[in-house]
Amino acid sequence: IAKEVAKLLEMKAQLGGDEGKHKFVLKTPKGTRDYSPKQMAIRERVFNAIITCFKRHGAEVIDTPVFELKETLTGKYGEDSKLIYDLKDQGGELLSLRYDLTVPFARYLAMNKITNIKRYHIAKVYRRDNPAMTRGRYREFYQCDFDIAGQFDPMIPDAECLKIVHEILSDLQLGDFLIKVNDRRILDGMFAVCGVPDSKFRTICSSVDKLDKVRAGALGCNCRCWSFSEPEAWPVPTGGLDLIERLLQDPKLSQNKLAKEGLGDMKLLFEYLTLFGITGKISFDLSLARGLDYYTGVIFEAVLLQQENDHVEESVSVGSVAGGGRYDGLVGMFDPKGRKVPCVGVSIGIERIFSILEQRVEASEEKIRTTETQVLVASAQKKLLEERLKLISELWDAGIKAEVLYKKNPKLLNQLQYCEETGIPLVAIVGEQELKDGVVKLRDVATREEVNIRRESLVEEIRMRTSRP
Amino acid sequence: IAKEVAKLLEMKAQLGGDEGKHKFVLKTPKGTRDYSPKQMAIRERVFNAIITCFKRHGAEVIDTPVFELKETLTGKYGEDSKLIYDLKDQGGELLSLRYDLTVPFARYLAMNKITNIKRYHIAKVYRRDNPAMTRGRYREFYQCDFDIAGQFDPMIPDAECLKIVHEILSDLQLGDFLIKVNDRRILDGMFAVCGVPDSKFRTICSSVDKLDKVRAGALGCNCRCWSFSEPEAWPVPTGGLDLIERLLQDPKLSQNKLAKEGLGDMKLLFEYLTLFGITGKISFDLSLARGLDYYTGVIFEAVLLQQENDHVEESVSVGSVAGGGRYDGLVGMFDPKGRKVPCVGVSIGIERIFSILEQRVEASEEKIRTTETQVLVASAQKKLLEERLKLISELWDAGIKAEVLYKKNPKLLNQLQYCEETGIPLVAIVGEQELKDGVVKLRDVATREEVNIRRESLVEEIRMRTSRP
């Protein structure tokens, strides 16, 4: 027994020593992730498509801090406020991580007294939500926002926001999509007509948005406006200009000022969308509510209808990838004199889009390069490190993207293998003879062809060979 | 009196009402700021120069979350740990905002068992420091990091890091600069030779770094190695290969294993820097220590020697814009088995660089465009909104960057003024006659010349006119 105890004690001591040194968990925080170089390459593609579109529509770009004063975010998100990350009180101001880019934008406008701007902002936002990372839901995620602020003629900026969503989703080739559109004023008008008390509007909107099939009746609405399974309540909950016309002719609804305004603007919106030729993918959808408190007019949300490698049989929506709407009162909440700046904007969520593209790349076995190196500076013989460093320095100074292995005497085979692995197309080989002759041997990695190039022509030759046609 | 009291009460009621509604302060958190579109344009230029350089050296790119598990950052920053922002404990994991990009990089390597990578990472980091924003010191600021991880022959990656700093600072044309280089092993060796106890090394390094003129004697070093004002202590504190050689011949110092290693590597480093042709701006500087705990070998720091509109008379260093060094032990602190991955890297701080460029742009009155719009779609007559929307939709779909005023009937003068203000070079004007003739009037904003272009040739014409030669 004594022997066994001694053995165990020894084992424990060994383990204890190890544990003491490295007891922490090696992970990223819950709901977050790293991006590897390959993932970054895909992410860059998505960003490029989105930024190109935003710039095509004449947007400027701004940036704001990752955290705001806690009070800046207070009272803007309704029930979702509980998902805001607060910073620890370490003395000084109370801070919170931004929950979206819209409230910081409104704070920026009020603070700088800007009444007229079209800007985009691409940055990470933070929500202490239940993550579902395989479905692209994270606690730290990117939003790509485009907003138009200013007093303009109705629905022209609103229509442009929808055009932008249409352009980006088409451009990214994510398969079929649908943009649902509604208007907070129509919803509010309907609730009013049905006798729902004002105080319950926002709660209902929030619930409708979250549960999709909730019965508003359970929340204080006693009519059947939301009973979509009972078609006699309203004609149909989704449609286009036809549905708008029918609702405009509804005797009860058209008497409500808010609903009438909303329906009138919705009609105008659809006229502009027709001019843009995009009504085919837009649906006026009475069941769309969107949870955020600050919307005041048009609201919309884009969903992908099918996903690659979809295991679900029916072509149902598999997730929202963009959303937005009009928020005419938010800037006024920040302005000391309550001056309003009407705003409308759209937010593209790239995490879901990114997941789809990542899966597609993996399925296609497409080889993605994660560097742009044009040439590897190599040597076939030993003792040429100095010559390699001299040559690569010349190339760098001429703007050529070049690498060298960090070895004194690397084998030629290893240098060529490195090119194969990383996709470097050219190798510039220095050797005793080449140095004497004032040339460099340039090897094409794909064809294995080698030619001697005069050293003073090397930069030009590399540029020519690696310029895209 | 009653009248006066009533008056005052009324005033109070008014003020109270206002205060209740908008009592919060309209600002960004202490030590942070927004970037306006104009500032973003300058920032993009700086990022472009830096990213171009990193890619020229074959780096991949990664991204990590803005916060890490608190324990990931624990014990990595020495005294500076008190500057870390913690998140509030809202249930779940304890989190902290990243303090730099180096520790998250090491965590990433250990977590993914990567032993060999050359990557860059550009992202914001957070320090609860005393901000001095006019001098470019913020609590939220960007770091642009380039690191090489892997077991390689000595000093080749280290030399490349210095080459990168040299390239970027030259490229940005910030005026004269100096890159100070030292080695932790030389410092440690010197302290050991002078009888400073091991436990004080790091404290001294940290203090030397921060106070610049501190006397190490006060901290436990009783020799005069740090008494720079008394030149008999060491030959000279800064220099190049000459100083290295003299220190190597110092009988006391050369007996210390660490110092000898450090000096040997420093000599090798200077040989490589000579091949790169950049020793002119590099100074071996015994007074450089750098505060962070994790450095194990070469350390360096780049300072700008003169600033534009400099009010100081002497050409002294006005601020550090880049720093870095070798940290061979950091990844091992994260690996469950303590496996080491040698690393060396550099971090470029853009806030100071950005301040200088911003001042320069303001002084030069250079007009910076904040959008890339190629053409404004306009009309001279009323009732042509629909036609403008149809045309701009065609242009967007063809990839042309185009804008339209969000007015039903804007005046031509206002439309032209908008182009002048925002730098849009072309105006495409639709009118009754043009529509009938199947043409669009294309106006050059600068020359005021107008020509009719057939509608089907418009896209090509705009492309041609706005392509840079």
Burial of A419 per CB tally in 10 Å (0-12, 13-18, 19+)? buried
The DSSP 8-state label assigned to residue B366 in this structure reads P
Provide the β-strand partners of residue A320: A303
Q: What is the tens place of the pLDDT at every residue in A421-443?
A: 999 999 999 999 999 999 999 99
Residues of chain A in contact with residue B93, where contact means CB-CB under 8 angstroms, are 29-30
A437 is in an annotated binding site: no
Structurally, at CATH architecture level, domain A37-364 sits in: 2-Layer Sandwich (3.30)
- What is the pLDDT averaged over residues B41-70? 97
Contacts of B388 in chain A (CB under 8 A): none
Cα separation, B212 vs B39, in Å, equals 33
Name the least confident of A31-40, A130-139, B118-127.
A130-139
Kindly report, residue by residue over B252-270, the tens digit of the pLDDT: 888 899 999 999 999 999 9
Comparing CB atoms, the residue among A61, A108, A393 nearest residue B277 is: A393
Lowest mean pLDDT among A316-325, B223-232, B305-314: B223-232
Chain A CA closest to residue B389: A275
Minimal-distance CA residue of chain A relative to B124? A66
Query: Over 90: is that where the pLDDT of B442 sits?
Result: yes
pLDDT tens by residue, B207-234: 554 434 333 333 333 444 443 333 344 4
Q: CB–CB of A72 and B24 under 8 A?
A: yes
When pLDDT is averaged across residues B154-173 and rounded to a whole number, the result is 97
pLDDT of residue A220: 38
Identify which has the larger pLDDT, B263 or B310: B263
pLDDT of residue B200: 67
pTM of the model: 0.88
CB within 8 Å of B333: residues ≥ 6 apart: A22, B75, B76, B106
A384 pLDDT higher than 60: yes
Q: Name the B residues in 212-271 with CB < 8 Å from any A CB.
A: none
pLDDT in tens, A246-269: 888 888 888 899 999 999 999 999
Each domain of chain B, given as residue ranges in start order, spans 37-364, 375-467
Annotated binding residue at B215? no
Fold of A375-467: Rossmann fold (3.40.50)
Highest mean pLDDT among A20-29, A218-227, B390-399: B390-399
